[in-house]
Amino acid sequence: MTMSAQLQHLAQAYFHQDYDLEFSDPDEAVVAFVDGEGPGAARELAFELGGLLESSSDELELTELWIKTLGAAYDPTADGRTLREWFSHVRERLRPSPDLGAP
């Protein structure tokens, strides 16, 4: 599994051990990533997530990457989601709104 620069940045800068003190929920952290890093980083992260979801069907592998390798403090299984479901959700959140037009 390849290392993803934007996914690593999301995990370490936005889902650090105190993320829940900074953000009211995980979606707010994703919005902060988009607002803070800009549309280019959001597109890159969406691309990384797409590649990751296509290349891995193993939930354990995704969990190892997110929690152990990248060091994210947020575990989506605590909210009843698999890592695959959560990564898909994040990818959807990164897509530009249709009313904003093309970037």
pLDDT at 31: 95
Query: Which position has the token pair 């939930």?
Result: 59
pLDDT at 57: 72
| Type of residue numbered 1 | M
Alpha carbon distance 21, 36 (integer Å) = 18
Q: Which two tokens mark 7?
A: 């996914």
Alpha carbon distance 26, 16 (integer Å) = 11
- Sequence-distant (≥ 6) Cβ neighbours of residue 36 within 8 angstroms: none
Would you say 29 and 37 are in contact if contact means Cβ atoms under 8 Å apart? no
Q: Could you report the average pLDDT of every consecutive run of 10 residues in the chain (103 residues)?
A: 81 95 96 94 94 88 94 96 96 71 44
Q: How far is CA 101 from CA 7, 37, 60, in A?
A: 25, 19, 37
Alpha carbon distance 94, 30 (integer Å) = 8
Asked whether the whole model's pTM tops 0.95, one would answer no
